[in-house]
A = this chain, B = another copy of it.
Amino acid sequence: MQTEIIAVGTEILLGQIVNTNTTFVARRLADLGIDVHYQTVVGDNQQRLIQAIEIASKRNDLVILMGGLGPTKDDLTKQTVAHFLGKNLVEDAAAMHKIISYYAASEKKMTVNNRLQAQYISGSVPLKNETGFAVGEYYPNDNGCDFLLLPGPPSELKPMFVNIAQPLLSKRYHNEHLLFSRVLRFFGIGESLLATKIEDLIDKQTNPTIAPYAKTSEVTLRLTASAVDENEAKRILDDTEKEICNRVGEYMYGYGDNNTLVEVVVKKLLKENLSITAAESLTAGAFQATLGNVPGVSHIFPGGFVTYANSAKSSLLDIPPAIIQKNGVVSEETAKWMARRSKEKMKTDIGISFTGVAGPDSLEGNEAGTVWIGLAFKDRPVRAKLYHFARQRSLVRERSVLTGLDWIRREVAK
């Protein structure tokens, strides 16, 4: 069961709009266990559209076309598919009635083109448009590839796909297995090292499949199991997760597509009732702003300090200027003082500090990317760690924030 999604629209080709329709449909097809092998975008051009349909119909069992069902001159999709199939267009009486009623009640004039929106290819099942005028359609084809035509506006496409098309597809292709995914999230290990550590698992992957994916500062593994039901899928996924965690479990911080390190850490702090503050130099408030992303953080986060200049480190945190002068602002001592003083001043359980060189210029002989993170955690000895983050200014700061969060995650678990 192979599928291709074709989005029709010159505005996508020109980069004027992002092709979110394809993402929406692809994700739901994956849930249905229908494989998408290609996605294509073609403009409002009949010749190229027909070429795209010819190529797609040869290599797929189902071709989904989105867009080009509207009333304007450049809406050509259904006419082109009808031409390809050697079929006529017929009119959907209910859809036609909806269009006529709308124009009767409005001051706008109905044009000949508006009739086109109510037409579908003879032999298709017309799909009702709950939020617009253009009917969609599903053409089951026993002599070749099936076609599904959906309107382009997301507000029309989404309800039509979810409420009408999805059940139709599910029924017609029910012999497929169901797919279940689980996302494991890692911080502090690069994609290539992670992939190397589980190379044999990736090599022998069949069920579940294992797909590593690197985001700016973290890596996720998506495990996808094919199974008859959720219980069987859970067993398959649990086994593979266990094997993965035996090797790289210390870097794994959580699950899910939309989870983040800060949500996991704040949840832990709330659970353990540990309050936190920060003194930030190079991150300039980014650590605290990240905490602030999580609703409910006010229970454990009263506020803190942005000490960008040395004068602020002394005036806000009462760090003796001599300490900074002697050790340097980018130093273990300064980081420890910042962490300890912030914790004392805010009377919290945890104080974390960030001092370093965001770049692009170096500072005190330290290259951009050199960062000390200090941590005062309850009554444990105050410590500081040195990091060398590569890459540009914004990444140095983002990386610092996440590394601080990860240190806290590990410290809470101790």
Which A residues are closer than 8 A to B by beta carbons?
A: 10-20, 22-30, 36-43, 45, 48, 51-52, 55, 59, 70-74, 102, 105-106, 108-109, 111, 113-114, 130-132, 153, 155, 189-193, 195-196, 199, 202-203, 211-214, 216, 222, 257, 278, 280, 282-289, 291-293, 295, 297-298, 301-309, 311-313, 315-316, 345-346, 358-361, 388, 390-395, 397
Contact = CB atoms under 8 A, between A and B. Distances in A.
B195 A393 contact: no
A372 B224 CA distance: 47
Given A284-B292, A303-B306, A15 B41 contact: no
Nearest to A211: B10
Given A29-B15, A43-B37, A286-B292, A202 B73 contact: yes
A309 B316 contact: no
Given A15-B25, A285-B292, A292-B397, A48 B42 contact: no
Contact of A390 (B102, B222, B309): B102
Contacts of A36: 13-15
A287 B306 CA distance: 11
Contacts of A192: 70-72, 111, 113-114
Nearest to A38: B42
Contacts of A10: 211
Most interface-central of A213, A313, A388 (chain B CB within 10 A): A213
Nearest to A25: B15
A298 B302 contact: no
Nearest to A194: B72
Contacts of A73: 195, 199, 202-203
A195 B113 contact: yes
A360 B102 CA distance: 17
Given A196-B111, A214-B70, A292-B284, A15 B40 contact: no
8 contacts: A12-B26, A155-B395, A293-B393, A302-B309, A303-B305, A303-B307, A303-B309, A315-B345
B48 A30 contact: no
Contacts of A27: 14-16
A256 to B, nearest CB: 12
A19 B22 contact: yes
Contact of A303 (B42, B55, B191, B308): B308
A292 B298 contact: no
A12 B26 CA distance: 8
B292 A358 contact: yes
A359 B295 contact: yes
A362 to B, nearest CB: 12
Contacts of A45: 37
Contact of A306 (B26, B48, B305): B305
Given A70-B191, A193-B111, A292 B312 contact: no
A285 B289 CA distance: 5
A99 B105 CA distance: 68
